[in-house]
Structure 1
Amino acid sequence: MFSAHSRRGLRYNRTLAGALSWQNGRGMFEQNYHRSFRTLALFALALCSLGWLASCGPMPAPAVKKKPAPKKVAQKPAAKPAQASPKTANNNANDEPPSRPFLPQVPESDAPIKPRKAGTLSDLVKRGEATQNDLPELDDGKIAAAGIRKLTGKHLILYTDVPATVEEVQKLPQIFDLAVPELCKYFGVDPSKLEQWKLVGCLIEDKPRFQGCGLYNGDVPDFPNGFHKGSQFWLYNQPSDYYRRHLMIHEGVHAFMSHWLGGAGPPWYSEGMAELLGTHEWDGQQLKLGFNPPDKTQVPYWGRVKIVRDEYAAQRGMTLLDIFRYDGQAHLKNEAYGWCWAATSFLNQHPQTREAFLALKTDTQDRSIEFSRRLHEKLKPQWPEIAEDWQLYVMQLEYGYDVARAATVRKESVPLPAAGATVNVAADRAWQSTGFEVTAGKTYEISASGRYQLAREPKPWMAEPNGITIEYHQGQPLGILLAAVTSPAAAVNAISPLATPDIIGTSGRLTPRHNGTLYLSLNDSPSKLADNSGACTVQIREVMP
């Protein structure tokens, strides 16, 4: 629970170090794929044959680095009560940030990676054009007699037994029609090719009605929420207008990819893309797909952020490579949808992965593990950095997480000059490399000055390197200067040092426990970086202990 409420924010009842401490001497994720031992064993054996199953032996947990007590900072005048906080903590789960560590797993494989199948996006679209009018033969008279209404749009014929008094249901074909050109834009498909493309959908409250009139035949399996096959999809009515639309678009993405891209890829990509693009914003006139919701009130009953946070807190977190290994049974559990959304959202936005991730649209005919191996191979030179940023993403995930701005800013580093050095730290980015290497056991003095902006509305919040105490993030004043020493391999088999930084403020000393590059950051939520501006100036020099 939160220990104290300020006028403009929430203060966590932990220090930053304590919030990310090792607990119970555990240094690894507990893997729980929610399937039988026999199935897991067979799956592991298959992966081993590819040489792609990472080691799962436990690693010893490193000792927690003790942090100095945060400096006392003069309290800024409180804002007027009528003004809303631009930095108030988001509507996440009603608990503290997850505090369990995990270890990323890097696969080693000697097996050659199979090349992708030959073919272009244009070839796939031509194939889709030839079959875009293949719709099931249905008896509308029999369907109407069963008490099922027919709603028709340009790209969707929707049958439903949800009462006409639920006005939002009437708009679903219109919303789907708006989604189609957005899907074309994302995947690079010419929308003129889809002029005749239609799907048949069923929005169900009473399943037997649909079974008795030919809309739900024996070849449709039982499913908890939604299911797609060919030119049809089925989904159960949902408790919120948002989540009903989300499921419709989700199944529509499956249908679009299967028809126009020749397939939807392996489970993590197929379900992840449907979740990524199904997450939307609708204002009654305009539709935006791939929406990054700033708080949970805009996406009622969606819950993907909460799934990841809860799973991580329960020590069932996933690395990207864990998610890549999902099999066809993984999505019988709801947790897999949360992790696949998180993976695709991260890869779609991260500056080091976005280009390679977007290129996957031409490889979707391949549902095998080779699809993921090719992606990993393409990103292999940067993988330790990507894995470290994923680690921070999972540990700090919240609504509106700005992956691009929160991505660690790295650069080539050189030894710190004997005379020291001066660097600038931007307020609108998360961790930033100083470009200088420091040595384990030596002591460095870090001093900072300057003013920078941490919010724009309702008025600018100006801060200095000691931070401002009208709001806290991760137990420390907003905007306070943090420091950590890391290296490319530091997060491969341990928690990233960036997750357990030292508190510096306007002045402090740092004695690294290992060699590496010095990184600095101005403490703020990863969802609130876009309205920051300015920078502070930091001087670094070696001193006697």
Structure 2
Amino acid sequence: MPAPRSARRTFGLTFAALAALTCCGPALAQPPASGDAGNAGEATGPALNVFRSRNVILTTDLPAEKSEALLVELETMLDLVGRFFGAPLRKPIPLLVWKDTAKWQGVPLPPEAAAKMREGGGVTIGSTMGLQNTFTGQFRATDASATAYASSRRGTPLHESVHAYCMLTFGGTGPVWYSEGLAELGSYFRQGDVSVRVSEPVMSHLQTSPRQTLREILDPNAVTGDSWENYAWRWALAHVLAYNPNYRDRYRPLGVSLMNEDGKLSFESVYGPMAREITFEYDFFLDVLEQGVRPDLIAWDWKGRYRPLREGRRATARLKADAGWQPGAAELTEGVVIEYAAEGEWSVGRDEPRPTHVTVLDDDYEEPKPEDDAEPTEPPPPVTADGGEDGRGRLVGAIFDPNDYTLSEEFELGAAGTFTAPASGQLVLRCRDKWGQLDDNDGRLTVRLTAVKTE
């Protein structure tokens, strides 16, 4: 089970602009600006070794094979984080990773790092130098340093390295909700893949525990390092904001502003006008959460058009198999009887579970198979809106109430027939499949609807 991780301590040296005044604060474990290992270089012992890659200076008691594998994993992640923000890492990250704490006896560590070693967690400690205008109070970071300390347990070195990247690149990590959500998000990064792939403890917690609200996640009084359970909820919000096309274009600019602490943007100023939509999609994401879920495929179409259907009126909906709920083109009144017919065929991919998240340091890690060694599979046969024998591929519907942002229970449809609207609101339709397996579906349907009876 993931261990809680500590707050990052960021101390700074501040040079006052437009005034001959220099202020400085204390710095814990402050690496030199050159990006060398700094005090991490003092963490040497007979059982410790230093390994280097382009962006990481790793001091560890891990064996060489595991250390080299970790460096490869870290380099891949840091490259993806840099691309995500459009800002490559400026200097190497000194990273200390422990597995057997007995081998670190006598090694000088900052108090925060020593505490995390006892707890089995991690912490990133850094400093920022910059210029502050004495008239406006505005601060501009000019240089930063960061050292990451981490247990080898479940992704902690990845998580702390994201914090170190943010400190070195932007001068800070932002408020807790963004800082910890991003660190978890970054530790799961995979090239060209925005689907959910988290550890089993995280998945189980999010599926079975009382849900944290957005207000609780955004609590300005929250402290970092509180619990891995809180980190899980922060990740869930980050995954929605970063990958859902309704919100993703605002997530990175907001983060840069928060990490720079320039005061230009806040969650309220960026996302406040769409708070109800975000709340609905965050809750919906958790309602359907499983390995493989993609926020871009289940994103709600808030711009969809719906035509009020009174007796004799018609509407036409066009649907994709590889998407979640889609506009059914009709706004219905509870009790109205709708006649429908679906034209076309679509196909659903194989019913196979999606993988969980493991790192190269986990006991259950297995080397991925080369794509050339993958067993060839037959493309799934197309089906009509009646679906296959297992029920997948069947046309189903629900009613969304745009006034109170609620979604009715799903009801079955098919290739043709009639149904009675169970509630008033907007008709939404989809191809039935497991929510984490939409990405390998294909095909489209056209659904024609006619109101044949109204009360």
Which of 169, 182, 186 pairs up with 1:277? 186
Which of 472, 484, 487 pairs up with 2:398? 484
Contact 1:356–1:375 at 8 Å: present in 2 too?
A: no
Give TM-score scaled by structure 1 length. Answer: 0.62
* 1:358 has 2:252 as partner: yes
Q: Residues 448 and 152 (structure 1 numbering): CA distance in 2 closer, same or farther, change over 3 Å? A: closer
Which of 342, 345, 362 pairs up with 1:451? 345
1:211, distance to aligned residue in structure 2 (A): 5.1
Contact 1:279–1:289 at 8 Å: present in 2 too?
A: no
**Could you tell me which residue of structure 1 aligns to residue 82 of structure 2?**
184
Q: Residues 175 and 430 (structure 1 numbering): CA distance in 2 closer, same or farther, change over 3 Å? A: closer
1:366, distance to aligned residue in structure 2 (A): 6.9
Structure with higher RCO (Cα < 8 A, 6+ apart): 1
Letter matched to residue 59 of structure 2: Y
Question: What per-residue deviation string (whole Å, max 9, x for no partner) do you get for residues 210-235 of structure 1?
Answer: 35132x23343623322111221211
1:263, distance to aligned residue in structure 2 (A): 1.3
Q: Residues 503 and 174 (structure 1 numbering): CA distance in 2 closer, same or farther, change over 3 Å? A: closer
Q: Residues 200 and 486 (structure 1 numbering): CA distance in 2 closer, same or farther, change over 3 Å? A: same
1:399, distance to aligned residue in structure 2 (A): 0.8
Q: Within 1, Cα distance between the matches of 2:81 and 2:326?
A: 35
Q: Within 2, Cα distance between the matches of 1:482 and 1:542?
A: 18
**Could you tell me which residue of structure 2 aligns to residue 40 of structure 1?**
none
1:271, distance to aligned residue in structure 2 (A): 0.9
* 1:392 has 2:284 as partner: yes
* 1:255 has 2:183 as partner: no
Contact 1:277–1:290 at 8 Å: present in 2 too?
A: no
Contact 1:279–1:291 at 8 Å: present in 2 too?
A: no
**Could you tell me which residue of structure 2 aligns to residue 236 of structure 1?**
151
**Could you tell me which residue of structure 1 aligns to residue 429 of structure 2?**
520
Give TM-score scaled by structure 2 length. Answer: 0.73
1:356, distance to aligned residue in structure 2 (A): 0.9
Question: What per-residue deviation string (whole Å, max 9, x for no partner) do you get for residues 126-180 of structure 1?
Answer: xxx993537534665x8234x222223333222222344xx22233334434444
**Could you tell me which residue of structure 2 aligns to residue 496 of structure 1?**
407
Q: Residues 134 and 386 (structure 1 numbering): CA distance in 2 closer, same or farther, change over 3 Å? A: same
* 1:332 has 2:243 as partner: no
Q: Within 2, Cα distance between the matches of 1:518 and 1:138?
A: 60
Q: Residues 135 and 413 (structure 1 numbering): CA distance in 2 closer, same or farther, change over 3 Å? A: same
* 1:131 has 2:33 as partner: yes
Question: What per-residue deviation string (whole Å, max 9, x for no partner) do you get for residues 258-317 of structure 1?
Answer: 121121111121111111111145xxxxxx4976356xxxx7x56432321122xxxx11
1:345, distance to aligned residue in structure 2 (A): 1.2
* 1:383 has 2:275 as partner: yes
Tell me the secondary structure at the aligned position of residue 348 of structure 2.
strand
Structure 1's consecutive aligned runs of 4 or more residues displaced over 6 angstroms after TM superposition are: none
Contact 1:268–1:324 at 8 Å: present in 2 too?
A: yes
**Could you tell me which residue of structure 1 aligns to residue 50 of structure 2?**
150
Q: Residues 371 and 350 (structure 1 numbering): CA distance in 2 closer, same or farther, change over 3 Å? A: farther
* 1:292 has 2:195 as partner: yes
1:396, distance to aligned residue in structure 2 (A): 1.0
Contact 1:267–1:367 at 8 Å: present in 2 too?
A: no
Tell me the secondary structure at the aligned position of residue 528 of structure 1.
helix
Alignment of 1:32-111 (within 5 A): none
Q: Within 1, Cα distance between the matches of 2:286 and 2:40?
A: 46
Q: Residues 401 and 162 (structure 1 numbering): CA distance in 2 closer, same or farther, change over 3 Å? A: same
More strand per residue: 1 or 2? 2
1:361, distance to aligned residue in structure 2 (A): 2.9
Aligned length: 376
Q: Residues 516 and 320 (structure 1 numbering): CA distance in 2 closer, same or farther, change over 3 Å? A: same
Unaligned residue ranges in structure 2 (runs of 5+): 5-30, 127-145, 351-376
Q: Within 1, Cα distance between the matches of 2:175 and 2:416?
A: 50
Q: Within 2, Cα distance between the matches of 1:266 and 1:237?
A: 25
Contact 1:478–1:524 at 8 Å: present in 2 too?
A: yes
Cα RMSD of the aligned pairs, angstroms, is 3.2
**Could you tell me which residue of structure 2 aligns to residue 306 of structure 1?**
204
Unaligned residue ranges in structure 1 (runs of 5+): 1-33, 35-128, 282-287, 472-476
